[in-house]
A and B are shown apart, each in its own frame.
Chain A
Amino acid sequence: EAGVTQSPTHLIKTRGQQATLRCSPISGHTSVYWYQQALGLGLQFLLWYDEGEERNRGNFPPRFSGRQFPNYSSELNVNALELEDSALYLCASSRGQVSFREQYFGPGTRLTVT
């Protein structure tokens, strides 16, 4: 069984540009979570999608957005990039909401904003 996959592995953008990150969950998983891991800040919850709908978001500005497609893959968009958006972005999937299910993580996308 294939694990959670993310693309690209690395992404370098300039301040003010837009970044698009992609995630494919494990087959059969309907929930996708996005987390940001910035240096020194630990893992912070960004967004949760389930069955194509945004269910909740963390304490991040609206320029962080995304969507979930009918095949349950997901896209994270970051608009008007700022230097502090440089971080490892991790996607995770679970079979339903994480309250009751184990969460599996992808390898991450390293975003660097210059």
Chain B
Amino acid sequence: KQEVTQIPAALSVPEGENLVLNCSFTDSAIYNLQWFRQDPGKGLTSLLLIQSSQREQTSGRLNASLDKSSGRSTLYIAASQPGDSATYLCAVSSQDQAGTALIFGKGTTLSVSS
């Protein structure tokens, strides 16, 4: 059964720092991996989608990498800003549950201070 873990659970950094959020999954047989952002009490905003055949995706100050064989993904945020404060969720589409749903980690809550 696929499980997704995110470390750390919470992270506080000063504005301007570069930071890395980690995601690991137990079964490397995935179709894709998605990173989402969730503001308190709100829905999810898709940040980046990496297909299983890809190694990384970039959008603005965000870069996500995928190492399927080791079951790891990282989300790199450059030059962090207070507006980046939110919970970041990693989710995989697992081949053992094709079409079922995304399997989510519990998220990393990021706080960027000015």
Contacts and interface: CB of A to CB of B under 8 A. Distances in A.
Interface string A87-114: 0101010000111101111111010000
* 10 closest A-B pairs by CB: A97-B99, A45-B101, A105-B44, A43-B104, A107-B43, A99-B31, A42-B106, A105-B43, A102-B49, A108-B43
Interface string B62-95: 0000000000000000000000000001010101
Contacts, number: 67
25 contacts: A33-B101, A35-B101, A42-B106, A42-B107, A43-B102, A45-B100, A45-B103, A50-B99, A55-B99, A88-B41, A92-B44, A98-B93, A98-B99, A98-B100, A98-B102, A99-B93, A99-B99, A100-B31, A100-B32, A102-B49, A103-B34, A104-B46, A105-B43, A107-B43, A108-B43
A105 B36 CA distance: 10
Given A48-B99, A56-B101, A97-B98, A43 B89 contact: yes
Interface of A: 4, 6, 33, 35, 42-43, 45, 48, 50, 55-56, 58, 88, 90, 92, 97-100, 102-108, 110
Interface of B: 31-32, 34, 36, 41-46, 49, 89, 91, 93, 95, 97-107
A99 B98 contact: yes
Contact of B34 (A48, A58, A90, A102): A102
Nearest to B103: A45
Contacts of A107: 42-43
Nearest to B36: A105
Contacts of A55: 99-100
A76 to B, nearest CB: 14
B44 A90 contact: yes
B79 to A, nearest CB: 26
Contacts of B106: 42
A36 B30 CA distance: 22
Given A43-B91, A110-B41, 17 more contacts: A6-B43, A42-B106, A42-B107, A43-B102, A43-B104, A45-B103, A48-B101, A55-B100, A88-B41, A90-B43, A99-B93, A99-B99, A102-B46, A103-B102, A105-B36, A108-B41, A108-B43
